[in-house]
Copies of this chain bind each other. A is one copy, B any other.
Amino acid sequence: QGFDPQLQARSLAATCANCHGTHGQARGDMKPLAGMPAEKMLAALADFKSGAQPATVMHQIAKGYTEEQLKLVAAYFAAQPARR
């Protein structure tokens, strides 16, 4: 299909970089996402979305993505080298 999923994943994940750092390599107390296993991220996002996991903004941000988009984002961050 015409649309490059890699490109779509990267543009979706660009929003996360605003708080979680470029490629999710967060500094300071913000949770790094780089290298996080996709299943772990998808489980956390599902808990944010359902409200099982209270949050400041993540419960609302997670609602703006489809399941398909969340899978793309989770796969994108899982493939990023974790910051040593």
- In Å, the complex CA distance between A60 and B64 comes to 6
For A61, what are the chain B residues with a Cβ–Cβ distance below 8 Å? Answer: 57, 60-61, 64
Inside 8 A of A15's CB, which chain B residues have their CB? 56-57, 59-60
Copies of the protein in its oligomer: 2
Judged by DSSP, the binding face of A is helix
Please name all residues of chain B whose beta carbon is closer than 8 Å to the beta carbon of A60 when the two chains form the complex: 12, 15, 61, 64-65
A window 31-58: CB within 8 A of B: 56-57
**Is the C-beta of A18 less than 8 angstroms from some C-beta in chain B?**
yes
A10 close to B (CB within 8 Å): no
**A27 at interface, CB cutoff 8 A:** no
